[in-house]
């Protein structure tokens, strides 16, 4: 069977059953997580979750980054009513409800919301150039989509606090060292 490629506004989907590869496709913005991209992503993953021909979903980003975080330009003009009407957190809830395994294939930046997106996946495979972090503190906000809790469960409270409160990025090698070897059998 040939690969089936489906292009959406901010997503490119490649189906090769039983595998589906979903690419965040805003490379000019380092795959910043805009409302439209998050809506496209949630819709795509929900469709794949219902597709009996798909057994696993791989999530990656086009261009130089997995996802460099929230779309700060889009958020800068938004007020509380905009956040509610756009249901920004609802899209994250939709992603958390996916039952099929989702593997994050991370390269380049996975910062802020991008780090949170990787952490929501079941497995993270990182290239040597991957950088993880929650730099929101550097612009005066805290991570807002559950990333602080997921990061603390993954690396422990002390390291999570250090990463979130300093905005420091960690390399794929540092992340691997913090996480240790996977448990076996």
Task: Indicate if 162 belongs to the active site.
Answer: no
Q: Taking the C-alpha atoms of 102, 5, 62 and 66 in order, what is their torsion angle to the nearest 10 degrees?
A: -10
pLDDT, one tens digit per residue, over 52-81 is 999 999 999 999 999 998 777 765 665 566
- Give the per-residue pLDDT at 9: 92
Out of 104, 105, 136, 164, the active site residue is 136
Domain boundaries, the chain: 4-179
CB contact at 8 A, 172 and 148: no
Categorize the per-residue pLDDT at 83 as very low, low, confident or very high, splitting at 50, 70 and 90: low
Provide the whole-model pTM.
0.85
Task: Indicate if 80 belongs to the active site.
Answer: no
Out of 104, 105, 108, 116, the active site residue is 116
Question: Is pLDDT larger for residue 137 or for residue 99?
Answer: 99
Task: Indicate if 136 belongs to the active site.
Answer: yes
Q: What is the mean pLDDT of residues 120-148?
A: 82
Give Rg (Cα) of the chain: 16
Categorize the per-residue pLDDT at 158 as very low, low, confident or very high, splitting at 50, 70 and 90: confident
CATH of domain 4-179: 3.90.226.10
Out of 61, 108, 113, 147, the active site residue is 113
pLDDT, one tens digit per residue, over 12-53 is 999 999 999 999 999 999 999 999 999 999 999 999 999 999
- Give the per-residue pLDDT at 162: 85
Identify the top-confidence range among 7-11, 61-65, 70-74, 173-177.
Answer: 61-65
Element (H, E) at 109: strand 109-111
Task: Indicate if 116 belongs to the active site.
Answer: yes
């Amino acid at each position: 069977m040939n690969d089936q490629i489906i292009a959406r506004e901010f997503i490119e989907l490649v189906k090769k059953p039983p595998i589906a590869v979903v690419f965040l496709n805003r490379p000019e913005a380092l795959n910043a997580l805009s409302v439209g991209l998050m809506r496209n992503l949630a819709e795509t993953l929900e469709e794949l979750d219902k597709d009996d021909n798909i057994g696993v979903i791989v999530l990656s980003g086009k261009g130089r980054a997995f996802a460099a975080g929230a779309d700060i330009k889009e958020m800068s003009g938004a007020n509380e009513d905009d956040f509610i009407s756009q249901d920004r957190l609802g899209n994250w809830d939709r992603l958390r409800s996916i039952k099929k395994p989702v593997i994050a294939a991370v390269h380049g930046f996975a910062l802020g919301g991008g780090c949170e997106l990787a952490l929501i996946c079941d497995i993270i495979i990182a290239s040597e150039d991957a950088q993880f972090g929650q730099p929101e503190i550097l612009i005066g906000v805290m991570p807002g989509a559950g990333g602080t809790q997921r990061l603390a469960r993954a690396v422990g409270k002390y390291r999570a606090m250090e990463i979130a409160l300093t905005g420091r990025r960690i390399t794929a090698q540092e992340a691997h060292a913090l996480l240790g070897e996977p448990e076996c059998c």
